[in-house]
Amino acid sequence: MKLHLTRRYAFAAAHRLHSAQLSEEENRRLYGKCANPYGHGHNYHVEVTLSGPVDAATGMIANLAELDAFVGREVLDAFDHKNLNEEVPAFRSAVPTTENLCVEIFRRLCTFPAAHLERVRIEETGLNSFEYAGE
Ligand code: NI
């Protein structure tokens, strides 16, 4: 028996979309105002989906308090109220788009010991969301 559980988190962070592989002109054309050198912010909403069997003794897939502590330590402490380009090492080389944010958050959460990480979904705004389910 396998069930899924999804837990929702939020953090606020600043970023700048700018690729070192593109010229300044190409960056401006591609990213528009998101390439502003001083950055801009988003209130990100992250959904973390886990799967696993229901434990016979607890009736749960995973202890939500344990999941909250893990996500807090691995993601929220590292990302909330941070400048993603400057303060998250992965984004020194990768552009901090929400696509790459999904991959980085998945990488940080896939070692959660109590259940299998199925998917990370991030809403960057009310209009955009992205999902990553691993390779
Ligand atoms: Ni943005």
Active site residue 86: no
Catalytic residue among 74, 99, 118, 124: 124
End-to-end CA separation in angstroms for the chain:
24
Domain ranges for the chain, please list them: 2-132
C-alpha span between 119 and 95 (Å, rounded): 21
Catalytic residue among 66, 81, 86, 110: 81
Q: Which residues surround ligand 1, an ion (CB under 5 A)?
A: 34
Active site residue 66: no
Active site residue 124: yes
* pLDDT tens per residue across all 135 residues of the chain: 889 999 999 999 999 999 999 999 999 999 999 999 999 999 999 999 999 999 999 999 999 999 999 999 999 999 999 999 999 999 999 999 999 999 999 999 999 999 999 999 999 999 999 999 998
For residue 60, the CA-to-ligand 1 centroid distance in Å is 36
Please enumerate in sequence order all residues whose Cβ is within 8 A of that of 13, keeping only pairs 6 or more positions apart, or say none. Answer: 41, 42, 44, 79, 80, 81, 82, 83, 84
Instruction: Please tell me the pTM assigned to this model.
Output: 0.95
Architecture of domain 2-132: 2-Layer Sandwich (3.30)
